[in-house]
Amino acid sequence: MSKEGKGIILIASGNRGKVREIKEILGFPEVKLLDLNQISFRGKIEESGLTFEENALIKGEAIYREYRIPVLAEDSGLVVPSLHGLPGIYSARFAGEGAGDDQNIRLLLSKMEGYPDELREAWFYCAVVFYYDPGRYFIASGTVYGRIAREPMGDQGFGYDPVFYLPEYGKTMAQLSPQIKNRISHRAKALSSIKDLIREHLKGSK
């Protein structure tokens, strides 16, 4: 790792919601966490993988090659078994390239119109990669289970949070406080699994 890269991790995302959550979950006060917006990255990374893990690795490797600084990359999405696993890896662009959260949610709800509760089961899945040297990385994943609500509820979070209902809380993910979400979410579980490995690597690279 270059001398300039010590104490810096690039978050391979420009999604402000994801970046905010990653920074809050990781903490790491001794490390400077930069995202793609902060470094004015304008490139296009082709997410051509067939799984969340493959896409996270593609992003991590691409950003590392560009900057030669350790990269934290993730790919996550919503999986609905009754829709044959969709939106899945296409979650961010379910309603088409450039689609916003509202458009994706509307399409999802329209496809599930009339589905009974037992067919509305779903889960959020997150794969996280910490890419720190050429061909060397840590990888982890996390899952949170729930079901698809019949209408959006709540104004916290982003993405499909307003329609992802958690029966044990009686709320959608978007109705939870950030503190609770950042403890139970798929992203929190994946990052918690890899957090100590990242910390140990950073200690060893000083």
Catalytic residue annotation: 75
For the record, the structure tokens of 66 come out as 């560009």
For the record, the structure tokens of 131 come out as 């890419």
* Residue type for position 75: D
Report yes or no: 85 and 96 within 8 Å, Cβ to Cβ: no
Report yes or no: 185 and 19 within 8 Å, Cβ to Cβ: no
Report yes or no: 57 and 49 within 8 Å, Cβ to Cβ: yes
Compute the chain's Rg from CA coordinates. 17
Beta strand pairing call for 8-11 and 32-35: parallel
For the record, the structure tokens of 165 come out as 């209902």
DSSP at 86: -
